[in-house]
Amino acid sequence: MYQSPRRLCSALLQRDASGLRRLPTPGLRRQSPPPAAAPRPASPRLLAAASAASAASGAARSCSRTGFLGPRLVSSSSFPALGEGKDNFVQCPVEALKWEERKCLILEEILAYQPDILCLQEVDHYFDTFQPLLSRLGYQGTFFPKPWSPCLDVEHNNGPDGCALFFLQNRFKLVNSANIRLTAMTLKTNQVAIAQTLECKESSRQFCIAVTHLKARTGWERFRSAQGCDLLQNLQNITQGAKIPLIVCGDFNAEPTEEVYKHFASSSLNLNSAYKLLSPDGQSEPPYTTWKIRTSGECRHTLDYIWYSKRALSVRAALDLLTEEQIGPNRLPSFNYPSDHLSLVCDFSFNEEPDGLF
């Protein structure tokens, strides 16, 4: 029997559903309708989290036969210590940053999108929240913490934050998994990634899904570029030189003008950025994926991406980003949106002629 996301979330959290709010969400914009002559099963969906405020300590925050719709990817973020006021979101009420408040909104959003694969960054509530709750919904999870997580400097912390990846066990089988500590100029860094090769149980076709979160802050552009090159090299090996289709999602902390973005766009892995779909010319990134007000002022940036193998996969649909009006004058995060980054959601399908990639 169908149960609404709100009812499921309430049951999972063992709290009254009246305490939950429905997240206002825009609709999926389709790139092209599926061919009418080819009936398709329900599409798997992939949920990926990308930057600083939806999966962690207060916020958490594709694959089958020809023609079979692939996963839906939702990318959003969470900053572990949001409730400690460390991020100086001056327009956000302190109560909205508390984990107990944000937890319901995060889980409600996950339940609303019903992902087949879920990728999260800055997760520090993996063991006490995400893993136990999502496992009850049929997900298998992996968590890889940062070596020197800043969360550990917070009094009464919940442990280190890191990346997490979940997939539905009834849809996919884990073929292999790699936890990657990123390097920059041969030096090991504090940023990590998870890359897993999954096999679709219905079709036996394989693909690789990866989640990462690169170094933040202005002045670290060359560092991020080196981390991106290291990740690409790792993915080159894992996908056997692009023989296995690939999806990479995360918070890259980099605008499209940065070198790390250009490395991914020109990689021999033949990647394309899924959210270009929403631009009029199909060649431009969204104007923002994060919008916040701090003591230093208001900032609006495009930092989060979903990259995919353009020869093997197609983007069937993508979730429109929230408008300025929907976000509100106090920007992100808020009582309605638990992260300072927006969720990215995509539906993928395998191309009919994958150029021998399968």
* Percentage of the chain exceeding pLDDT 70: 74
Higher pLDDT, 203 or 22: 203
251, 50 contact by CB (below 8 A): yes
What integer best gives the mean pLDDT of the chain?
80
Model pLDDT, residue 75: 59
Model pLDDT, residue 1: 44
CB atoms inside a 10 Å sphere around CB 297: 8
pLDDT tens figures, 177-201: 999 999 999 999 999 999 999 999 9
The 3-state DSSP class for residue 67 equals coil
**β-sheet bridge partners, residue 200:** 172
Model pLDDT, residue 76: 57
pLDDT tens figures, 252-263: 999 999 999 999
pLDDT tens figures, 201-226: 988 989 999 999 999 999 999 999 99
The candidate with the shortest Cα–Cα distance to 26, out of 312, 260, 318, 282, is 318
CB atoms inside a 10 Å sphere around CB 188: 11
Across 86-102, average pLDDT: 85
- Helix H or strand E encompassing 173: strand 172-184
**β-sheet bridge partners, residue 301:** 290
Q: Is residue 138 predicted with pLDDT exceeding 70?
A: yes
Tokens at 306, concatenated: 């979903």
Q: pTM of the prediction?
A: 0.83
* Residue entry with tokens 């990318």: 75
Model pLDDT, residue 351: 86
Model pLDDT, residue 30: 57
Position 319 confidence tier, pLDDT thresholds 50, 70, 90: confident
Across 129-144, average pLDDT: 96
Q: Rounded to an integer, what is the distance from CA 112 to the centroid of its chain? A: 15
Sorted by where each starts, the structural domains of the chain and their CATH numbers stand as: 64-350 (3.60.10.10)
Position 166 confidence tier, pLDDT thresholds 50, 70, 90: very high
Model pLDDT, residue 49: 38
CB atoms inside a 10 Å sphere around CB 219: 6
